[in-house]
Structure 1
Amino acid sequence: MPIKVIKNLPAITKLAQENIFVMDTERAESQQIRPLHILLVNLMPTKEVTETQILRALSNSPLQVNLTLLHTASRKSKNTDEAYLDTFYRTFDEVRDQFFDGMIVTGAPVELMPFEEVDYWSELTEIMDWSEEHVYSTLYICWGAQAGLYHHFGINKEVMPKKLFGVYLHDIYNERPVLFRGFDEKFWMPHSRHTTVSQVAIRGNRDLELLAGSAESGAAIVRSLDNKHIFVFGHSEYDRDTLQREYERDISRGDGVEIPENYYPNDDPKQKPVVRWRSVSTLLFTNWLNYYVYQETPYILEQIQKMKFERDKNQGAYI
């Protein structure tokens, strides 16, 4: 949460230069407080595992969050019991008339397929279009990030020579965005994917900013300049053993996958994996939740539609 101090205190300017958020009393007293409404579009087959990871990442904030779980109705789940979905999940038709402060779109194991051949692509694009007037800010993860970047900005994914698999060190290209408050100058994050997106295409789009990446991982974190879309191509939410379970699964299939990089001590799968990304996960999700959602979303959620109209009218005037 922000530090609250008297307006115009000289320390505010100094702390702002250090990327520390300080709220003056005037702004604090004008704020109205209510729970945040977040929609989780869970595209993973093992939904319970993914929802637990996301909930853990969101839980390190003092903000109260009301989470709604959504699954795609156009694809029947093979790994999650129908009764479980009926009990805990909603379909798009059940939420299309609602408004949300934030939305999270997960990855999905369909990255080698063209987007248009994914059986729920039409439904997903409808959700992403709907979010423009019903959601204040959206966080996209891995394949979800590639899908969002393709749909909203026309940048397609590219197949890599070999699977990017392991935990990688990333550079921050711009420390100014509040998404990186509390981050070290370099940070670790897991990746597990066969595809990437062009950094040249991202840098060439006037509505996007490449925030972080590396020579090995390529683009890692991208934002739209209006902060409505945050794209994360890695998996900071992963558990300690997630890459290990994927590695064992691929080995059992005979996929010939290599040992995940920078994961096991001495690259020995018999040793306990080293977690290097837990603090990054906490900061990434809480910074998004606080600065890109809580501090900006309207108290009356229905006003998101009006804000979308004003953005369209002043297109290009991003802050």
Structure 2
Amino acid sequence: MASSSPLKIGILNIMHDKVDTKKRFDYVLTRAQMPVELKYFYPKDHYQDRPVPPEVSAMAAPLELEEVAKLDAFIVTGAPIEKIAFSEVTYMAELHELFAFLEAKQICQLYVCFGAMAAANYFYGIEKHLLAQKLFGIYPQVIVNDSPLLAGLTPGFLAPHARYAELSLAQIKQTPELRLLATTAKDELFAMESRDGLQAYLFSHLEYEGDALLKEYQRELAAYPDQAQTLARPQNYFAQPASMQGPLFKWQEAQQAFFANWLQLVARHVRVSVTNK
């Protein structure tokens, strides 16, 4: 890849709010002062019994491995299905085919939230369990191991979390192929990486914009109005917590650093791959 050539990055968008998700990744990946070309995909098996919605087909292509082979890196987003067993996800077999292909082709990978859970389970057998209550809000992070992915981030950097499930920390620590990078003060996962540098696992929704946690809470409130008193509210997020007013974008610095660092790693991998050919 010539220095002026854009990095070709594929994104499997499996989030519920696909339009907003595309805007978020467009923003975080194009502001890093590195030329990129983004191509969005959707899992075909997700729509095997129904038409693909026009808003999905307008922004994304069906997942075809021949197209993935042309890319320098690939991202699998989160999805609000972490309560569901992996075996019950309708497109899990398609995800497994993608994971195996990315590994075989030595394409750089970034897995986010549920995508990270599914990939870590596939590659390393790391088990998922439900949390007693949703991890939801903005929390300071503890750096466990230094990594180029965390360059520019200082201990206590802030990051948003929004999930009902977690991977086994004990299993991760016992997996020699993985390096834990950062957690919350209560050992909830922020990020880890494979020791060969090809796989990055981000459990925080660091791609979220400032009002995304509020949107997520409002979506859940609309879906489960009878649970209004028990639904988790985003913590450490509002300027006026009692009234849930004034959401604050506290993780902007971490967002910018992490995605810029990941793109640098992708570019380095591409340069080495070209040199070795």
TM-score normalised by the chain length of structure 1: 0.79
Check the 8 A contact 1:211/1:222 in 2, yes or no: yes
Code of the aligned partner of 2:30: S
* Alignment equivalent of 1:224, drawn from 166, 187, 194: 194
CA distance in 1, matches of 2:106, 2:205: 23
Task: Give 1:274 deviation, angstroms.
Answer: 1.4
Check the 8 A contact 2:110/2:200 in 1, yes or no: yes
Q: How many residues align?
A: 272
Q: Is 2:258 the partner of 1:284?
A: yes
Identity %: 29
1:192-229 per-position Cα deviation (integer Å, ceiling 9, x unaligned): 11111122111111100110002336121010001111
Other-structure match for 1:104? 75
* Alignment equivalent of 2:55, drawn from 84, 96, 113: 84
Q: Taking structure 1 as reference, are residues 269 and 81 closer, same or farther at Cα in structure 2, changes over 3 Å only?
A: farther
Q: Taking structure 1 as reference, are residues 165 and 209 closer, same or farther at Cα in structure 2, changes over 3 Å only?
A: same
Check the 8 A contact 1:99/1:135 in 2, yes or no: no
1:139-198 per-position Cα deviation (integer Å, ceiling 9, x unaligned): 1111011011101111011111111111111111122x1111111222111111111112
* Alignment equivalent of 1:51, drawn from 12, 22, 40: 22
Q: Is 2:230 the partner of 1:260?
A: no
1:73-113 per-position Cα deviation (integer Å, ceiling 9, x unaligned): 111299x9733333331112374463311111100111111
Code of the aligned partner of 1:163: K
Check the 8 A contact 1:265/1:272 in 2, yes or no: yes
Moved >4 Å (runs of 4+): 30-33, 298-301
1:105-147 per-position Cα deviation (integer Å, ceiling 9, x unaligned): 1001111111011001011111111111335211111101101
Other-structure match for 1:126? 97
Q: Is 2:220 the partner of 1:244?
A: no
Task: Give 1:276 deviation, angstroms.
Answer: 0.9
Correspondences of 1:138-157 after superposition (within 5 Å): 138-157=109-128
CA RMSD of aligned residues (A): 2.4
Check the 8 A contact 2:109/2:199 in 1, yes or no: yes
Structure showing greater radius of gyration is: 1
Runs of 5+ in structure 2 lacking a partner?
none
CA distance in 2, matches of 1:70, 1:181: 30
Q: Is 2:107 the partner of 1:136?
A: yes
Check the 8 A contact 1:168/1:216 in 2, yes or no: no
Runs of 5+ in structure 1 lacking a partner?
1-29, 307-319
Code of the aligned partner of 2:266: V
Check the 8 A contact 2:116/2:203 in 1, yes or no: yes
